[in-house]
Structure 1
Amino acid sequence: MVTHIPRHEYPPSLAGDIDTAAGLQGLAKRADEMLERIERSDMSRRRVFDTTLILAETRCKLDPDAEEFETWEAWVTAMQLGSARFAMATAAEGSTVTCRIKEKEWRLPATGPLPHVNASSWVKAFYLALICRENERLEELARVPVSLLRESGATFDEYIYSWVETLQCFWLGQEGVSTHLVAAVDGTGPDSAQHADQELMSFVLYPPIILFYRYLRGDHAQFNDALVDAIKWHRSYWSGEDDRAMSSEGYVALGPLAIACLARDRGFPIEVESEYLPKALLNFTWAGEIDT
């Protein structure tokens, strides 16, 4: 039986210009302007990934099933930029790397470790590559040294590095998946987490990890039960306060969507319907429409 979980309502008082077609056009224009400067501007290289991801998420507020080509294009572009961030970081010092972004080849400089080249942005990049079914980029991300992520100087709870190692070992077919996964789960508890807000940890950061555990166990019913929980927790968190309700991160359940895409492609029946899981992204409806 399919469970439907509607997206939370957004009070009219919270609606801003970005929630209109004109607002989206303005955001898309800013993202394009940053992209055009990406070869020569450090600031653009730092900001364009996050801006494009906001654009992709916001498009899904107005296009909840991701049925419009422009929505798919925004998700693909965010995926490309997320991967490019780590391609630059891992390139040899003084070299350049060629990255395909928005159907154009860009020559980007090696950066080495930087504050925004961190474990959190790596997880987002990996989720996006799962959603876009980008196996080559997934392998490249899986080979990013965890030591590089630690060199960013960003402060995270230790669980996130275990989660990164879980996904890397899994994708590369290496041993240690279970060990790292257990460490990631244990690290999300209130006695372990020191930096992340516990509500954020419990409702947003933890669910993809336990969902992945259910995926590894191969039990379709338990996976769907965990997916229901993940989407309900996502809704609860992002509707809990007005400032959260204004965030584009609440429009799509990024982590659960990524793991659901992985499970669907391995034959799991996905028995949850929600605007938080855009159908065209989950079902890979736009496969082959863009030369990535």
Structure 2
Amino acid sequence: MNFIAEVLEERRFFVQWLVDSPFDAGGPLAGVKFQTKVCIAMDTFAHLVRGDSDRFNASLASGLELFRSFHTATPERSEKTEGGGPLSLFALACWGYDSALVDPDFRFEVESGYLPKHILERDWVGAFPL
């Protein structure tokens, strides 16, 4: 295991401890919001660094679904711009897409309305004069 993977593994256990911690019940680190903003992105990143495309795709898809379900759970949340898109997951999706282009063993298999296809696949490059 390389250094980055080891550090990510240690942080994943620490984050899981924070989420499960009885000292944090009801605190700012508890619940779905923390999981959608931090834990899923860290998990997705860890699988990307390890080159595990199956787990990367599953984690990314799960994170996008958690994001959607959290930000559409109430009418108030649905109207906030904060729920417009999961930027951390989109950034990881772009990195995963690029990894699949150069690594024949890595596959990018996630499609979602939260991942604009033309930005992800860079179809728009050159479309606008500079």
Q: TM-score, normalised by structure 2?
A: 0.74
- The count of residues paired between Structure 1 and Structure 2 equals 117
Q: Secondary structure at the match of 1:272?
A: coil
Task: Give the letter for the 1:247 counterpart.
Answer: K
Match among 225, 229, 232 for residue 58 of structure 2: 225
1:204 and 1:237 in contact (8 A); partners too: no
Superposed CA deviations along residues 204-258 of structure 1, whole A, max 9, x for unmatched, are: 3211110011112212222211121111111111112222211223222211111
Asked if residue 204 in structure 1 is aligned to residue 37 in structure 2, the reply is yes
Superposed CA deviations along residues 11-36 of structure 1, whole A, max 9, x for unmatched, are: xxxxxxxxxxxxxxxxxxxxxxxxxx
2:4 and 2:49 in contact (8 A); partners too: no
* Aligned residue runs from structure 1 range 138-157, under 5 A: none
Unpaired runs of 5+ residues, structure 1, are: 1-174
Rg (Cα) greater in structure: 1
Distance 1:283 1:223, change over 3 A: same
Distance 1:212 1:290, change over 3 A: farther
Deviates more, 1:252-261 or 1:196-205: 196-205
Superposed CA deviations along residues 94-135 of structure 1, whole A, max 9, x for unmatched, are: xxxxxxxxxxxxxxxxxxxxxxxxxxxxxxxxxxxxxxxxxx
**CA distance, structure 1, for counterparts of residue 52 and residue 46 of structure 2:** 10
**CA distance, structure 1, for counterparts of residue 10 and residue 28 of structure 2:** 17
State the identity as a percent.
Answer: 26
More helix by percentage: 2
Q: Which residue in the other structure is 1:279 paired with? A: 117
**CA distance, structure 1, for counterparts of residue 86 and residue 117 of structure 2:** 12
**CA distance, structure 2, for counterparts of residue 196 and residue 287 of structure 1:** 39
More strand by percentage: 1
1:252 and 1:275 in contact (8 A); partners too: no
**CA distance, structure 2, for counterparts of residue 222 and residue 290 of structure 1:** 39
1:204 and 1:233 in contact (8 A); partners too: no
**CA distance, structure 2, for counterparts of residue 245 and residue 195 of structure 1:** 21
1:261: how far off?
A: 0.5
Q: Secondary structure at the match of 2:73?
A: coil
Task: Give the letter for the 2:118 counterpart.
Answer: A
Q: TM-score, normalised by structure 1?
A: 0.36
